[in-house]
Amino acid sequence: MRLTFRPSSELHERALAIFEAERRRLADLAPGGELVLTGATSLPAALTRGDVDLHLRVPPPGFSMTVKALKQPYRVVHPEIWTETLATFEVPDAPLPTGVAVTPIGSDHDIRFTKSWALLARAPQLLEAYNDLKRRHEGGDVDAYEAAKSAFFTELLGR
C-alpha cells in the first residue's frame, strides 16, 4: 500500500464529530476515563492519511477492566503491540477509519501520546518538520514511513 496524505483541515470537523460520538459512548464503558483527539486530524495544519486517532486515558487501577469492557463494542487491532500499559482498538462503522489507544494515566505510552501532540500543537516549526517527514514519504512504503515517524516522535520527546 502506497502512502497518500491530505490536509487535516479537510477532515477536522468530521474528526471532531467522531470524537464527540465516541466520548459519549465511552462515558459508561470507561468511567473516569478521558478521551483525547490526537494524531494529525487533531491539528488542522497537519497532513493526514485520513484516519482519526483517539487516546483514552484511564486511571491505572481501571486499565485492565476498561480494556476488557472495550472488546465488545470495539474491534481489537494490532494485538502484537499490546503491553501492560497499551491496548489498541478500531471503531467499527465510523465514517472515517478510527482507532482508540487505551493507556493508564501517567504511563510511558500516555506521556508519549499526550506530550507529543501538545508539543506539535504549540510549535508550528515542529509541526512543519512533521509535515515534511510525511511529504518525503508520499507515495512510499508504509513500513519505512512508520519507522521514520517513530524516530521523529522519539527525537521530539528527547528535546
What Å distances lie between residue 119 and 13, 34, 35, 60, 111, CA to CA?
Answer: 22, 19, 18, 24, 12
Go through the domains of the chain in sequence order and give each one's CATH number: 6-158 (3.30.460.10)
Q: How confident is residue 159, by pLDDT bands cut at 50, 70 and 90?
A: low
Tell me the pLDDT tens digit for each residue of 46-81. Answer: 999 999 999 999 999 999 999 999 999 999 999 999
**Grid coordinates standing for 33?**
476515563
Q: What is the pLDDT of residues 136-155, one digit of tens each?
A: 999 999 999 999 999 999 99
> For 71-114, what is each residue's pLDDT tens digit?
999 999 999 999 999 999 999 999 999 999 999 999 999 999 99
CA-closest candidate to residue 1, choices 159, 126, 141: 141
> Mean pLDDT for the chain?
96
